[in-house]
Structure 1
């Protein structure tokens, strides 16, 4: 992979910082969790490598939503066992690949779910609302700081 220029590196870092601090503050004001551990890795993609297929809005939204849904379903119906957690990750990978919505950070959502045992509302917040906010922020920030347009595809 070629070295990124200094400007791109700084803007990627600022984008990641600004998004996570915004989600934290907004979540605090709304008394809702809007941050998911995998969102930090999503920041790497959307701000560091926004032109990759994995960084496109469709992949961010559906990758996170599908992986969380699968994790919640496997936890609910198979129990909190190592094999069911591994099955949930495998099923999330296969689903993202089959639907052409691969977003690698979302592959950790089933693991996060098995470690934290959230309620079904986790699918809405932080997963769906958070993914939508990542996309909205990435649209605004990337188009304001880069000459290339984001996204490359929907």
Structure 2
């Protein structure tokens, strides 16, 4: 094989390798700006319904998961529809009682509560991205009187762009794709224009409020508010003093869902999983067997 061909082949392979390794991590820039939550400063009953646990709750069987998913989805959708239906400014603009994408959001936020897709950051910012993209594309298509013949392409474009932006911002939430699509293709939603923002923000807030109550009765939600990764901070004297007190008293109480260090502790008859660490039902069974052997 000629040397020049081999060199070209090698250069091509390196170029493909460089392209395939492209990665944009927005958290690298944002996480240093996010303060670590201090849950130890919040009364325990309130912190409980904000997702804080000193110990991970025991896993539930799928029957109870199905029950609470049903209750949560009913409460969440009913709350959003009932409140939105009674907002005068929504009525004046003929806003729908509830955007269809909230049905999918209810399934995710009440059924798979441990999934990153269901966490508040994803649920909130993904829908804002969908509103910007969907309404923006809808407005651009409205500039061309013949655009109504290609409205399905506008919806597909809105969905595609929204998906890409969710991936880049770490806010993937499937219902947002539906929101972007509806913002371009649904006549009632298109009529809202930029007023889709308050409609969605109210709905997201109500759905999340319902999730914080229902999902924390026997389960835990959210697993984290911003990220499952530890948030850095300067260790001041007060924090070190708190840690020393917990060490002296043998307490395993953690003040943050994303604090450092995080340890999974397996003792005889007891398992402690730190907040922000996902443990599936199968993994929990393995830990239980290890605990029983100690």
TM-score by length of 2: 0.48
Q: 128-137 or 65-74, which moves further after superposition?
A: 128-137
Structure with larger Rg = 2
Q: Is 1:151 aligned to residue 225 of structure 2?
A: no
Residues 129 and 165 of structure 2 are in contact (CA less than 8 Å); yes or no, is this contact kept in structure 1? yes
Q: Partners in 1 of 2:154 and 2:78 — Cα distance?
A: 33
* Structure 1 gap ranges (5+): none
Q: Partners in 2 of 1:63 and 1:12 — Cα distance?
A: 22
Q: Which deviations, in whole Å up to 9, do the C-alpha atoms of 1:82-134 show, x marking residues without a partner?
A: 22221111100001000000001111112211222132101211x11111221
Runs of 4+ that moved beyond 6 A: none
Q: SS of 1:152's equivalent?
A: coil
Q: SS of 1:29's equivalent?
A: coil
Q: Partners in 2 of 1:22 and 1:133 — Cα distance?
A: 7
Query: Deviation at 1:15?
Result: 0.7
Q: Partners in 1 of 2:222 and 2:183 — Cα distance?
A: 29
Q: 130-139 or 58-67, which moves further after superposition?
A: 130-139
Q: SS of 2:221's equivalent?
A: coil
Larger % of helix: which?
1
* Structure 2 gap ranges (5+): 1-60, 143-147, 226-294
1:104 aligns with one of 174, 181, 186: 174
Q: Is 1:27 aligned to residue 84 of structure 2?
A: yes
Query: Deviation at 1:69?
Result: 1.4
Residues 75 and 210 of structure 2 are in contact (CA less than 8 Å); yes or no, is this contact kept in structure 1? no
Q: Partners in 1 of 2:86 and 2:136 — Cα distance?
A: 30
Higher relative contact order (CA 8 A, sep 6+): 1
Q: Partners in 2 of 1:28 and 1:129 — Cα distance?
A: 12
TM-score by length of 1: 0.88
Q: How many matched pairs?
A: 148
Q: What does residue 124 of structure 1 align with?
A: 198
Tell me how large the CA RMSD over aligned residues is.
1.6
1:72 aligns with one of 110, 117, 135: 135
